[in-house]
């Protein structure tokens, strides 16, 4: 009997350890074959783009390039001494998106800008982004390039900004907009609503991007509709009640989905992309939502 009890206790301890390990362990998302990702490409947009599907000279709508047809190698992997590095050329609008959907997680990666920029951003800031809770069809947004989602903006001087993607909505601790001035995130302010048709954009609380040529570490924490945008260890935005608005005005929770990395007319490099499951919101951040 004693031996049976001992073995039983050992089994329970082992299962507990494995359960903790499955929750706490970081899982790498980047390898040389991009085995955990798929691609979607739409268009090389023109400067006069107006939000409509591009048309050819005879006025016929041009179809997007589509899924997993990256013949121009917009997305590629460089085998560097420190591990694989994802290069996104930016030449064509689109995204790399995970095969798997995720809920309640901590995503971490490093990012650095490349030198190339393309029309229509030749004379604008370099731009990309992490789109999370991505669901549904690709190309439902203004640029006809991405899925319904929430955006963690990656942009020169604007790491951690937020954009509503398609008909998404969310609440952010922020100062309200005034006139031509945008809303600005601040963890001590009340939550304000962001959605298409109203305020759909919010600036990060402060600029913590690394100097040009250096890697910036970005973290995205998502738990039960709450999220945090973190840049080089600094919380730059506190968000909650992630949702989307249906055509008849209903709010539907948007708390899980795929992760997209944007191709948006600028060359960008990503490395050390990893994710881990969360069973609770990390205690260090709980008070931000009280």
Question: What is the C-alpha to C-alpha distance for residues 154 and 273, in angstroms, rounded to an integer?
Answer: 15
Digit-coded pLDDT (tens) for 21-48 = 445 799 999 999 999 999 999 999 999 9
Give the residue among 280, 265, 261 at the shortest CA–CA distance from 110.
261
pLDDT at 24: 73
What confidence score (pLDDT) does residue 131 get?
98
Query: Quick one: which H or E segment has residue 22?
Result: helix 2-24
**Residue ranges of domains in the chain, CATH in brackets:** 25-47+54-289 (2.60.120.560)
Q: What per-residue confidence (pLDDT) applies to 142?
A: 96
Q: Does residue 121 contact residue 127 with C-beta atoms inside 8 Å?
A: yes
Query: What pLDDT was estimated at residue 215?
Result: 98
Q: Would you call 224 helix, strand, or coil by DSSP?
A: coil
Intervals of the chain under pLDDT 50:
1-9, 11-22
pLDDT at 71: 96
3-state class (DSSP) for residue 288: helix
Provide the pLDDT for residue 107: 98
First to last CA, the chain: 50
What is the reported pLDDT for 23?
54
Closest CA to 142 of 185, 57, 201: 201
């Amino acid at each position: 009997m004693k031996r049976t009890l001992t073995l039983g206790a050992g089994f329970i301890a082992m299962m507990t350890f494995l359960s903790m390990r499955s929750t706490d362990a970081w899982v790498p998302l980047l390898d040389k074959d991009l085995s955990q990702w798929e691609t979607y490409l739409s268009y090389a947009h023109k400067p006069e783009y107006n939000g409509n599907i591009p048309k050819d000279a005879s006025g016929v709508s041009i179809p997007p390039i589509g899924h997993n047809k990256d013949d121009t190698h917009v997305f590629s992997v460089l085998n560097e001494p420190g591990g694989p590095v994802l290069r996104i050329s930016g030449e064509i609008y689109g995204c790399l998106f995970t095969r798997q959907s995720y809920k309640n997680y901590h995503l971490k990666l490093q990012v650095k800008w490349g030198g190339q920029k393309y029309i229509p951003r030749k004379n604008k800031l370099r731009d990309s982004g992490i789109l999370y809770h991505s669901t549904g069809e690709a190309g439902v947004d203004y640029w006809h390039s991405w899925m319904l989602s929430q955006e963690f903006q990656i942009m020169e001087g604007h790491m951690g900004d937020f954009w509503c993607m398609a008909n998404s909505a969310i609440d952010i601790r922020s100062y309200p907009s005034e006139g031509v001035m945008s809303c600005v995130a601040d963890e001590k302010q009340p939550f304000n609503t962001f959605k298409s048709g109203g305020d759909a954009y919010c600036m990060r609380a402060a600029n913590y991007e690394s100097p040009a040529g250096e890697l910036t570490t970005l973290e995205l924490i998502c738990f039960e509709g709450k999220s945090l945008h973190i840049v080089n260890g600094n919380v730059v935005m506190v968000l909650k009640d992630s949702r989307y608005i249906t055509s008849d005005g209903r709010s539907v929770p948007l708390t899980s989905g795929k992760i997209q990395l944007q191709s948006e007319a600028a060359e960008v490099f990503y490395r050390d992309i990893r994710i881990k499951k969360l069973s609770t919101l990390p205690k260090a951040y709980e008070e931000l939502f009280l």
